Amino acid sequence: MLALDNRKLMNSANGNFGTLMSFLQNPLFLSGLTSFVFAQFIKLAIATTKKVRRNRKELLEALFWRTGGMPSSHAAAVSALTVSMAIQEGINSDLFIITLFFSMIVLRDAVGVRHSSGIQAKTLNTLGNILSERFNIEYHPVKEVQGHKPIEVIVGCFIGFFIAAAYAYL
């Protein structure tokens, strides 16, 4: 009885490992992840070429956490998923249509809402600093989330398109 239970446990563990490996080798997953990471590496390369010296912590933060800038990693990831889904399932599939609308929302948010929020946060911080200096009031700045310019989103979309096509056809 114990040997049978151990065999079930091993088969279950092997099945879970096989499922995980299938997931990690899925072209949709790979194209989305690769596009996101590739765009972040380009962003890091651009950040390192600027004259401002950055320490290792700031560079790692820029690679894994910082938003905004050229190119949009969000745009790269969602466009890669959308193109991969179109290639894999066809443009008439329900999954492609869901992915397409999800991508449009993310892209619109990257250009419009996040960019506007960043401008508003910067203005609030400027006003807060002026009031703090003038009236000796303690001011805690709000986080300035940088959105994207349209060209940054377009370049991100091209990256996602080409990486998805490469996974599908190469």
For the residues 127-150, what does the mean pLDDT come to? 83
Would you say residue 139 has pLDDT above 70? yes
Would you say residue 75 has pLDDT above 80? yes
* pLDDT recorded at residue 76: 95
Q: Is the pTM of this model over 0.75?
A: no
Would you say residue 133 has pLDDT above 90? no
* pLDDT recorded at residue 153: 92
3-state secondary structure 31-96: HHHHHHHHHHHHHHHHHHHCCCCCCHHHHHHHHHCCCCCCCCHHHHHHHHHHHHHHHHHCCCCHHH
